[in-house]
Amino acid sequence: MFGPGIYTTTVSSKADIYVKNKALSNKHVMIVCRIADTHPQYLTTADHHRSSPDPG
C-alpha cells in the first residue's frame, strides 16, 4: 500500500492483514524482532509509486 519497504507494528494480527501468499504455499512465516529507529516516517495515505523514504 505504501510501496516497498520494511513495515513494523506492535500488534502481530495487524501485520497479518497485509500478508499475501503469492506462491500458494502452506508455509507462513512471521519475523518477530525488536527495532531501534531514530528517524521513523509515519505515512497516513497510500502511495503505490513510492520507492524510498524521504531524505533525512
Beta-carbon contacts of 6 under 8 Å, excluding residues fewer than 6 positions away, are none
Per-residue pLDDT for 1 more than 70?
no
Contact present, 5 and 47 (Cβ < 8 Å): no
For 7-50, the pLDDT digits (tens) are 788 888 887 777 777 778 787 777 888 888 788 888 888 888 88
Sign for the CA dihedral angle at 24, 13, 54, 45 comes to positive
Q: What is the DSSP string of 8-23?
A: --S-HHHHHHT---TT
Per-residue pLDDT for 2 more than 70?
no
